[in-house]
Amino acid sequence: MSLTDFGAWALRQLDPETAHRLAIRALQVTPLPAPGADDPILKTRIAGLEMSNPVGLAAGLDKNGEALEGLSRLGFGAVECGSVTPRAQPGNPRPRLFRLSEDRAIINRMGFNNEGLEPFAARLARRPKRTAIGANLGANKDTEDKAADYVAGLKRLAGLADYFTVNISSPNTPGLRALQGREALDDLLGRIHEARPADGAPVFLKIAPDLIGEEIGMIVEASLAHGVDALIVSNTTLERPASLRSPFAGEAGGLSGAPLKPIALRALQAAAEASSGRLPLIAVGGIADGADAYERIRAGASAVQVYSALIYEGPGLVGRIKRDLASRLRADGFSSVAEAAASAR
């Protein structure tokens, strides 16, 4: 077990939110070595965004952009920080983060707790350049015009991030998922399109897995109509599979980790069918090894993101996924991730 993976094990012995804060602190102060060069077969391009490999960090770990230097040294192709809202907010009352160890899962109802745009922008201005950095945008809980909050985030952070994610799929902010309806979505995406960064940084849309195929098809068409560059499929789920064994299974919030895998895969397949290659897809949800990552790529994803599995597997997971992906791509005769993703069509 590597030192970083041992640290992940030690953190799992603590209260989840305390462990999260300590992990961020460790990533700030631990002098990690720079990652080695990635296998060339893993090089990936999404909407003009160059990544040395297709394995990204999902939003939620580094909400305030505090540990970007440390995270950039773990071997990710991209690191997404946030969600950030225009104004600081404390989030929901504690306890609000639950480790379902028996199920290799997490339930959270954090509620977009973050320090707000200004500290976030200051940290992004000092971000490392070795890894693509994304900013995940959210809306304040008490904002009536939530679309205005996304526009404010996009304008304030223009030029500071390599890409932006419009997160309308968190289940922990009242009214947020209503933005996935066509009328509200057209209004939001129209305003986002008008506020796009002048430097051409791509804008992605992150959706919930708790949607039927027709709803996902509608979101794909709206995204194409308004120039969204890629779809991230998907956020946490409100479903509670009957297989859950943890005593925390009944806690309110979004479920992530291993039980989300079939739900997120189903949503990805629906998005791939609806988009027919017209819109790049990024897969997230229940990805815990190279086989999971490769399955999503063969289902049409151009890249993947991980988060919950890191809690159980440690940061060494990133390297293991990359090595396995490279091996699987070559074994199946593919020369790139893009070629493998296109085979789904």
pLDDT of 158: 98
Count the domains in the chain: 1
The Cα–Cα gap between 282 and 203 comes to: 12
| CATH number reported for the structural domain that contains residue 8 in this entry | 3.20.20.70
Query: What domain range is 116 assigned to?
Result: 3-342
List the catalytic residues. 170
In tens, the pLDDT along 165-186 reads 999 999 999 999 999 999 999 9
Type of residue found at 178? A
> Along the 345 residues of the chain, how does pLDDT read in single tens digits?
565 565 556 677 789 999 999 999 999 999 999 999 999 999 999 999 999 999 999 999 999 999 999 999 999 999 999 999 999 999 999 999 999 999 999 999 999 999 999 999 999 999 999 999 999 999 999 999 999 999 999 999 999 999 999 999 999 999 999 999 999 999 999 999 999 999 999 999 999 999 999 999 999 999 999 999 999 999 999 999 999 999 999 999 999 999 999 999 999 999 999 999 999 999 999 999 999 999 999 999 999 999 999 999 999 999 999 999 999 999 999 999 999 999 998
Quote the pTM value. 0.96
pLDDT of 87: 98
User: Are 287 and 295 within 8 A, CB to CB?
Assistant: no
Integer angstrom CA distances of residue 116 from 37, 65, 82, 296: 34, 11, 10, 33
> For tokens 């897995």, what's the residue?
209
Residues in the chain: 345
User: Are 99 and 15 within 8 A, CB to CB?
Assistant: no
pLDDT of 10: 66
Token output for 290:
């190279």
Could you give the maximum distance between any two Cα atoms of the chain, in Å? Answer: 52
